[in-house]
Structure 1
């Protein structure tokens, strides 16, 4: 089979398309024939060595690329509970694997796989798993109640956009930050208040909520600067990209690193089917053009997901 991998770790242009044997599933695993696989910022971090720099993965000869996948189960190992032929989505959340979802086939733990949303094409189904699951788990960590206030940084991105949608679904008042040109898009996700990231975000937040917001999903990984908008004793979800910031003024900081598990995946799928979580496709590419997709994402400004189709 063909697969995209990172060996030189010198950026997206150095990703390699290789021929490699089709992997076999072990106990509790399924093999998915990949129909579509989204491209995410973490894939760029795989190609340039950032995951190693942040001690999230040990150096190795080859890194597989890709976290999101949609496709069909075509083989199941002993104890796997998803029958062959099931249309599924999955998240390859284990770091350092030599082969991941940007390939013609991928083997995942069955616990990191769930039936795909009913009626959704594979391209759309491949776009939300990693980011919506991360946002869902971040909000679960914050445990805010309806009527409380939430600040979301990076609200035009994958995790941030889903945090806005899920925050509104939970009855929160959402303040969102993003680029000035993204205001209409972010408000369409449900944001109650918008602050351009070029502005003094802390001053803008305190102008509306003098004590600060109750919680923060820091999808842009700003750190202490974003935490200044949180009230004393509030809560802060730090979407992991290095060490979490220091907890100040009694604020509880929750490092959030995705845990792909069936229960949360099923809940996210349910929310997609209910129209709470949207799917956003920016463009599609073949595996052969995978490097082009990576380089386009690296330039910034992409809204929605770029999707690889084997």
Structure 2
């Protein structure tokens, strides 16, 4: 049996309890991972608290980011992965299949090696959010020198986006609270504006016609549309499709569409290994304390990710 953390009912953090689950079968193109670390993301809170699509009472195991060691490689794997490799991976949770389990089977295309110098806990904070940031950049498709803004720049997703946008040669306008301004600038933001109600006004002060593109990680939706120039693009992360007008292209992105973009994940790991992505671990907690990690995540002002550790 496999140790896991999950929930059988909707509710708060205390619905997360320990389970012993049967191991998952290993199929073609897949690898088995002994999980050592699993990052706790806002998506995990939704997995625990939102209604099930099919209304069943099966165990729901959250978790979209893991790191650990490959213990078995299935047939037909065409990536340079072998048993014993230290790896990180992105998980698409479904029922008992989630990151909060000590033994996990993933597509080999959802997994990449951990660069030298990174701990498992650090690596576990990378896959889902960095792939989301890359998906946003690819969707914006801006040329070097174009202007891009980001809300929630001090968060994990926002910070990765700022750094990747600078790697792509973009001019970055980022929001920040006063206590986060130094960090956001350290990520490479060219211009920093206050977060909150003054965001659009300040962006327009710096760029009177608006910016070429914007990633809205703070989920402000329609409130940030005026910051984007006519014909520009707003990328949203919670599915908001726009206000029905066509002045600005609104493009929702979903990381599930990038869950098997192996080459992109390889590159993101390489960038992180060069120190060009800032990996932030807020704290390590034993997996049995997942409920406490969820409570901590829901407090305001958290920077970095809580990481669950599996013995």
Task: Check the 8 A contact 2:235/2:253 in 1, yes or no.
Answer: yes
2:278 counterpart of 1:281: no
Task: Check the 8 A contact 2:129/2:157 in 1, yes or no.
Answer: yes
Match of 1:265 in 2: 265
TM superposition shift of 1:58: 4.7
Give the structure-1-normalised TM-score: 0.93
Match of 1:155 in 2: 153
Task: Check the 8 A contact 1:247/1:253 in 2, yes or no.
Answer: no
SS at match of 1:292: helix
Task: Check the 8 A contact 2:93/2:99 in 1, yes or no.
Answer: no
Q: What is the rounded CA distance, in whole Å, between the counterparts of 2:176 and 2:13 in structure 1?
A: 25
2:225 counterpart of 1:227: yes
Residues 243 and 249 of structure 1, relative CA distance in 2, 3 Å threshold? closer
The equivalent position to 1:164 in structure 2, one of 162, 165, 185, is 162
2:76 counterpart of 1:79: yes
Q: What is the rounded CA distance, in whole Å, between the counterparts of 2:95 and 2:192 in structure 1?
A: 39
Q: What is the rounded CA distance, in whole Å, between the counterparts of 1:49 and 1:149 in structure 2?
A: 36
Residues 191 and 247 of structure 1, relative CA distance in 2, 3 Å threshold? farther
Give the structure-2-normalised TM-score: 0.92
Q: What is the rounded CA distance, in whole Å, between the counterparts of 2:307 and 2:298 in structure 1?
A: 14
Q: Which runs of 5+ in 1 are unaligned?
A: none
Task: Check the 8 A contact 2:36/2:68 in 1, yes or no.
Answer: yes
Task: Check the 8 A contact 1:212/1:231 in 2, yes or no.
Answer: yes
Question: For residues 230-280 of structure 1, what are the alpha-carbon distances to aligned partners after superposition, in whole Å with 9 as ceiling and x for unaligned?
Answer: 0000011111x2442235453222211111221111111111122221211
2:24 counterpart of 1:26: no
TM superposition shift of 1:76: 2.1
Task: Check the 8 A contact 2:200/2:224 in 1, yes or no.
Answer: yes
Q: What is the rounded CA distance, in whole Å, between the counterparts of 1:251 and 1:95 in structure 2?
A: 33
Residues 192 and 281 of structure 1, relative CA distance in 2, 3 Å threshold? same
Task: Check the 8 A contact 1:5/1:99 in 2, yes or no.
Answer: no
SS at match of 1:156: coil
Q: What is the rounded CA distance, in whole Å, between the counterparts of 1:46 and 1:180 in structure 2?
A: 32
Aligned residue-pair number? 303
Match of 1:65 in 2: 62
Task: Check the 8 A contact 2:137/2:165 in 1, yes or no.
Answer: yes
Match of 2:306 in 1: 306
SS at match of 2:307: strand
Q: Structure 1 stretch 17-26 or stretch 137-146: which is displaced more?
A: 17-26
Q: What is the rounded CA distance, in whole Å, between the counterparts of 1:72 and 1:229 in structure 2?
A: 44
SS at match of 2:172: strand
Question: For residues 210-237 of structure 1, what are the alpha-carbon distances to aligned partners after superposition, in whole Å with 9 as ceiling and x for unaligned?
Answer: 0000000111121111121000000111
2:13 counterpart of 1:15: no
2:236 counterpart of 1:238: yes
SS at match of 1:174: strand
Q: What is the rounded CA distance, in whole Å, between the counterparts of 1:285 and 1:22 in structure 2?
A: 24
Task: Check the 8 A contact 1:135/1:163 in 2, yes or no.
Answer: yes
Q: What is the rounded CA distance, in whole Å, between the counterparts of 1:281 and 1:231 in structure 2?
A: 36
Q: What is the rounded CA distance, in whole Å, between the counterparts of 1:247 and 1:223 in structure 2?
A: 12
RMSD: 1.6
Q: What is the rounded CA distance, in whole Å, between the counterparts of 2:244 and 2:173 in structure 1?
A: 21
SS at match of 1:155: coil
Question: For residues 172-222 of structure 1, what are the alpha-carbon distances to aligned partners after superposition, in whole Å with 9 as ceiling and x for unaligned?
Answer: 111112333222221221112222223421111111100000000111121
Task: Check the 8 A contact 1:154/1:220 in 2, yes or no.
Answer: yes
Q: What is the rounded CA distance, in whole Å, between the counterparts of 2:54 and 2:193 in structure 1?
A: 38
Q: What is the rounded CA distance, in whole Å, between the counterparts of 2:100 and 2:116 in structure 1?
A: 23
SS at match of 2:301: coil
